[in-house]
């Protein structure tokens, strides 16, 4: 699947991705896989944010994207979030992408692809499936090097700990 660049504001995307990176750093500091997400409303207002917390919350669904969607849905008191844009540091997995589609998020912007679990362009290309009743715009590669570096740092440290 090709990612869209039509109507894409790179400067704006980079500033929102900076917020997602802040969230990812919170996960890193907590010993969680460093993925962060922010959901922005149609007016540019921040509706939700989240970082990976499945270990802390003992919840396999506590991914950054899910937590950001939950916060936004509670804020606007609606499980549908049309016109929104989700910024996430790493390409979402199948579970998260399913929730993003169910919430009717308009656009997904991610930093680095995830060749082991990515459901947008890497392992699967779910947004390109014509059988889905919701069309999701996808843009990848925003602040990709920073997003990838956080993941690499986390797994490098994790390997050191297991090799002791």
Q: CA torsion, points 54, 37, 71, 117, in degrees to nearest 10?
A: -50
Annotation marks residue 22 as catalytic: no
In angstroms, the first-to-last Cα distance of the chain is 41
How does strand 137-139 pair with strand 107-112? parallel
- Please give the Cα distance from 109 to 137 (Å, whole number): 8
Decide: residue 12, CB within 10 A, 0-12 exposed, 13-18 middle, 19+ buried: middle
Task: Indicate which residue of 22, 32, 45, 65 is catalytic.
Answer: 65
- Please give the Cα distance from 30 to 82 (Å, whole number): 32
Token pair listed for 20: 């997602």
Token pair listed for 78: 């609606």
The residues assigned a catalytic role are 65
């Amino acid at each position: 699947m090709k990612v869209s660049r039509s109507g894409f504001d790179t400067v704006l995307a980079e500033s929102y991705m900076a917020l997602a990176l802040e969230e990812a750093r919170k996960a890193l500091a907590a010993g969680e896989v460093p993925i962060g997400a922010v959901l922005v409303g149609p007016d540019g207002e921040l509706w939700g944010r989240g970082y990976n917390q499945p270990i802390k919350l003992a919840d396999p669904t506590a991914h950054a994207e899910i937590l950001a969607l939950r916060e936004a849905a509670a804020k606007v008191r609606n499980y549908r979030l049309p016109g929104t844009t989700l910024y996430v540091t790493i390409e979402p997995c199948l579970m998260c992408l399913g929730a993003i589609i169910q919430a009717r998020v308009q656009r997904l912007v991610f930093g680095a692809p995830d060749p082991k679990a990515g459901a947008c362009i890497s392992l699967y290309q779910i947004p390109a499936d014509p059988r889905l009743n919701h069309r999701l715009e996808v843009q990848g590669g925003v602040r990709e090097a920073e997003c990838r570096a956080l993941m690499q740092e986390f797994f490098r440290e994790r390997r050191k700990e297991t090799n002791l």
